[in-house]
Amino acid sequence: MPRLLEELTAVILTHRDAPLDVVGSFESRVGEAYQILRGVVDEAVVLATCNRFEVYALPRRGFVETVIGFLGEASRYARILHGMDVVRHLFRVAAGLESAIIGENEILGQVARAYEEARRRGVAGKYLGLLFSQAVRTGKLVRSRTRISYGNVGAPGAAVKLAREAAGGFDGKHVVVVGAGEAGSIMASLVREEAPTARISIVNRSVDRARELAGKVRGEAYGLDMLPKLLAAADVVLVAVTVNEPVIKRSMLEDVGRHLVVVDISNPPAVEQPIPSNVYYAGLRDVEKVIKEVLAVRIREVPKAEAIVEEQVALLRKLWLKRGADEAIAEIMRYANRVMEEEVEELVSRLRGLGVDGAALLVARSFAYSLTKKLLRPLILYAHEAALEGSLSKLEEIAQKYRDELARRQH
């Protein structure tokens, strides 16, 4: 049966309203959430990340109370949205406008996976399917038509950007990555993505960890004792380690004797100061400056992104209403076809009794079908007009009358 857009409800808990540890505590409880939703939703999707826990639903009685109960003490931070506010919020989320780091890309995949999980569990039907498919479409449109996701606002990505610009690219270069932790892994992966022909050397205190990362980026693994030799052959050095004192000594850099690009995002710095004149050096402050510049570009794109979101929100409303109208029309047609079949069968029976031949019977049946469609055409046109005007509730009343009558005839 058609569902009104006004019925759409969401319970929202995000980093904007609640402490991160509170929000993050629900990320691993998606399965529990779906369990408690049984019986209080017709359709539902749970979106859970480290920054948000959101439940979207076409609800039955008790939905909001059930979710609030599930949230417990965290419910004081929750917001409840209805109708178009739900659509607008989800589309903004997919576009990266509600993220802690504006324009981040990961959320788009998380929105898509949340719907797929709900569909796998059998709780996401055609209405939330429409909502989430349009949300993902909106997120892609915003990113393709604006620079909302411009650059990289993580320190590793910004470090790679600085190094790329200073070195004139990485292809054919020898890039040494000091540190095999998360930051080092990101930097090495970004270099490999950009430069298939680069030679990448991973240097780490634990050679096993260096080997693990080197295997992922088609690189070579070394211990810290090999640093002086590697620096002498390097074009670019990217550093991300946790140390109490510098691991790259000034003397090592002086011994290189040629131009070298070094970007260090360690805190405290892992490269001994002052830096020799043959070395281009960028530290954490330089990287943070790049991040601020990237964020400034993204922020300037917000009005464009918001305009696209509003266009897509309006489109979703039309699509939702059309779907509702189509369902209402289908209810009416089911009733009309049932009545027509009954009447045609009775007519055919009578005509046979009068000796009418088979060809005439086919004509009679065809006439009945044609007459039914013509009689219903004004009602179908009205249904589509009503949907476009947002009068779906009136249309649903009409469809319900036909539904009730069909049920009565079947019994």
Q: 44 and 89: one domain?
A: yes
- The answer on pLDDT for 348 being more than 80 is no
Confidence of residue 392 (pLDDT cuts 50, 70, 90): low
Q: 271 and 333: one domain?
A: no
pLDDT of residue 225: 94
Q: 324 and 256: one domain?
A: no
Dump pLDDT digits (tens) for 37-84. 999 999 999 999 999 999 999 999 999 999 999 999 999 999 999 999
Least confident span in 131-135, 244-248, 299-303: 244-248
Q: 81 and 11: one domain?
A: yes
Relative to beta strand 79-82, strand 220-222 is unpaired
Dump pLDDT digits (tens) for 103-117. 999 999 999 999 999
Has 152 been labeled as part of a binding site? no
- The answer on pLDDT for 387 being more than 70 is no
pLDDT of residue 193: 95
pLDDT of residue 95: 98
Q: 176 and 265: one domain?
A: yes
Has 254 been labeled as part of a binding site? no
Q: Which of the two residues, 165 and 401, has the higher pLDDT score? A: 165
In angstroms, the CA 93 to CA 115 distance is 14
Has 181 been labeled as part of a binding site? yes
Cβ atoms of 114 and 48 within 8 Å: the answer is: yes
The answer to whether position 337 is within a domain reads yes
pLDDT of residue 402: 66
Q: 63 and 140: one domain?
A: yes
Dump pLDDT digits (tens) for 356-366. 666 766 777 77
Of 264, 297, 330, which residue constitutes the final position of a domain? 297
Q: Which of the two residues, 149 and 356, has the higher pLDDT score? A: 149
Question: Can you give the residue range of the structural domain that contains 328?
Answer: 318-410
Has 282 been labeled as part of a binding site? no
Q: 252 and 327: one domain?
A: no
Has 312 been labeled as part of a binding site? no
Has 310 been labeled as part of a binding site? no
Dump pLDDT digits (tens) for 275-306. 999 999 999 999 999 999 999 999 999 999 99
Cβ atoms of 71 and 18 within 8 Å: the answer is: no
Size (the chain), residues: 411
- The answer on pLDDT for 25 being more than 80 is yes
Catalytic residue among 4, 22, 50, 380: 50
Angle, vertex CA 238, rays to CA 234 and CA 244, nearest 5: 115
pLDDT of residue 321: 83
- The answer on pLDDT for 8 being more than 80 is yes
pLDDT of residue 257: 78
pLDDT of residue 187: 96
In angstroms, the CA 386 to CA 395 distance is 7
Has 110 been labeled as part of a binding site? yes
Has 134 been labeled as part of a binding site? no
Question: Cα dist. 101→17, 53, 159, 291 in Å?
Answer: 15, 17, 17, 11
Both tokens of residue 386? 């009503």
Q: 140 and 173: one domain?
A: no
Has 135 been labeled as part of a binding site? no
Q: What is the CATH number of the domain that holds 176?
A: 3.40.50.720
| Known catalytic residue at 50 | yes
In angstroms, the CA 242 to CA 274 distance is 20
The pTM of the full predicted model, rounded to 2 decimals, is 0.75
Angle, vertex CA 348, rays to CA 377 and CA 338, nearest 5: 40
- The answer on pLDDT for 410 being more than 90 is no
Q: How many structural domains is the chain composed of? A: 3
Confidence of residue 377 (pLDDT cuts 50, 70, 90): confident
- The answer on pLDDT for 334 being more than 80 is no
The answer to whether position 307 is within a domain reads no
In angstroms, the CA 265 to CA 283 distance is 6
Q: What percent of the chain has pLDDT over 90?
A: 73
Dump pLDDT digits (tens) for 186-227. 999 999 999 999 999 999 999 999 999 999 999 999 999 999
